[in-house]
């Protein structure tokens, strides 16, 4: 079992560009979560998805951010027109819904220059 796979590991974008972060959940997991972690801060929830459905997006900024988990392929977190404040580590986690806790991916470190 390959675990939760995130790519890229590191992503550098200039202000105003788009960032696309990908997450493939563990085999058998249909629940995907995205969290953001700023330096010296805890994990902040962004969005919870199941296949083709957004279940809870209460942590997503209202503008520029979107997420999807299509029937086929990885979950995508998309950030349009990035600003320096978007620089952070973005973690994806998955679960089967019946297990305790989540399994986190290794994260994508986004740097906006």
Q: How far is the CB of 35 from another protein (least distance, A)?
A: 8
Site stretch for another protein (CB under 8 A), options 16-24, 50-58, 62-70, 75-83 = 50-58
> Which one of 13-21, 62-70, 79-87, 105-113 is the stretch in contact with another protein (CB under 8 A)?
105-113
Taking the least distance from each CB to another protein, the nearer of 59 and 74 is 59
107 part of the interface to another protein, by CB under 8 A: yes
Contacts of 79 (CB under 8 A, 6+ apart): 18, 19, 20, 21, 64, 65, 86, 110
Q: Applying CB under 8 A, does 1 fall inside the site for another protein?
A: no
Which residue spans within the chain are E strands per DSSP?
5-7, 10-13, 19-24, 31-37, 43-50, 53-56, 65-68, 75-79, 88-95, 103-104, 108-112
Tokens of 86: 């978007």
Judged by the rule CB under 8 A, the positions of this chain that interact with another protein are 31, 33, 35, 41-45, 48, 55-56, 58-59, 91, 95, 97-107
């Amino acid at each position: 079992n390959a675990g939760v796979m995130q790519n890229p590991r590191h992503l550098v974008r200039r202000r105003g560009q788009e960032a696309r972060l990908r997450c493939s959940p563990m085999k058998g997991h249909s629940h995907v979560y995205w969290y953001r972690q700023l330096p010296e801060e805890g994990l902040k929830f962004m969005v919870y998805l199941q296949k083709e459905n957004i279940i809870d997006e209460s942590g997503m900024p209202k503008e520029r951010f979107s997420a999807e988990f299509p029937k086929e392929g990885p979950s995508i977190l998309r950030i349009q027109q990035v600003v320096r404040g978007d620089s952070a580590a973005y973690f994806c986690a998955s679960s089967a819904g019946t297990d305790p806790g989540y399994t986190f991916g290794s994260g994508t470190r986004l740097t906006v220059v």
